[in-house]
């Protein structure tokens, strides 16, 4: 018997994200809640939601803990722009696969990756966060 995938996707103000460095987030449950920070282009919101659905499903299959992932993300101060890009991230492989799919979808939707990335950077303001919180402290799961 097949089980339906249940996702609820919400566009939210960035302040509602569980970690300030995340433009998107998945929260396990029935249904899984996908939160995407409000963005200027609906295609961008779609791309973030797609990334989060893929990342969630891979993390679920490989039993990656939401609590450990969030602890890593909440304490992350670099050197990568996104915590999942860091090879120390528990979910690095899953994040990398989700990004690959996100980039393919961006190309199909004729989204400029540099423009999209610039908006993500502006919203997450990781550089500003780094300046406020000082030098990087390693966030190893």
State the Cα angle at 141 between 63 and 28, rounded to 5°: 40
Q: Is residue 107 part of a domain?
A: yes
HSE (CB half, 13 Å, CA atoms) of 110? 0
Give the pair of three-digit tokens for residue 38: 């409000």
Reading the chain (141 residues) residue by residue, the pLDDT tens digits are: 445 569 999 999 999 998 888 999 999 999 999 999 999 999 999 999 999 999 999 999 999 999 999 999 999 887 888 899 999 999 999 999 999 999 999 999 999 999 999 999 899 875 445 434 544 444 444
User: How many domains are there within the chain?
Assistant: 1
Q: Is residue 141 part of a domain?
A: no
**Contact, 52 vs 34, CB < 8 A?**
yes
CB neighbour list of residue 116: distance below 8 Å, 6 or more residues apart: 41, 44, 47, 106
Report pLDDT for 77.
85
Q: Is residue 15 part of a domain?
A: yes
Find the domain containing 15 and state its range.
7-132
Report pLDDT for 124.
85
Q: Is residue 73 part of a domain?
A: yes
Q: Is residue 109 part of a domain?
A: yes
Q: Is residue 1 part of a domain?
A: no
Report pLDDT for 89.
94
Which helix (H) or strand (E) segment holds residue 114: the answer is helix 113-124
Q: Is residue 2 part of a domain?
A: no
Q: Is residue 140 part of a domain?
A: no
């Amino acid at each position: 018997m097949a089980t339906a995938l249940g996702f609820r996707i919400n566009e939210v103000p960035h302040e509602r994200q569980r970690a300030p460095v995340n433009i998107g987030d998945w929260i396990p449950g029935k249904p899984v809640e996908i939160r995407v920070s409000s963005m200027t282009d609906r295609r961008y919101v779609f791309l973030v939601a797609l990334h989060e659905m893929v990342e969630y499903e891979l993390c679920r299959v490989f039993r990656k803990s939401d609590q450990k992932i969030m602890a890593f993300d909440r304490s992350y101060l670099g050197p990568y722009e996104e915590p999942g890009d860091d090879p120390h991230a528990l979910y690095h492989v899953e994040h990398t696969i989700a990004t690959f799919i996100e980039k393919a979808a961006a190309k199909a939707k004729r989204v400029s990756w540099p423009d999209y990335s610039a908006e993500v950077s502006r919203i997450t303001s990781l550089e500003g966060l780094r300046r406020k919180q000082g030098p990087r402290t390693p966030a190893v799961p």
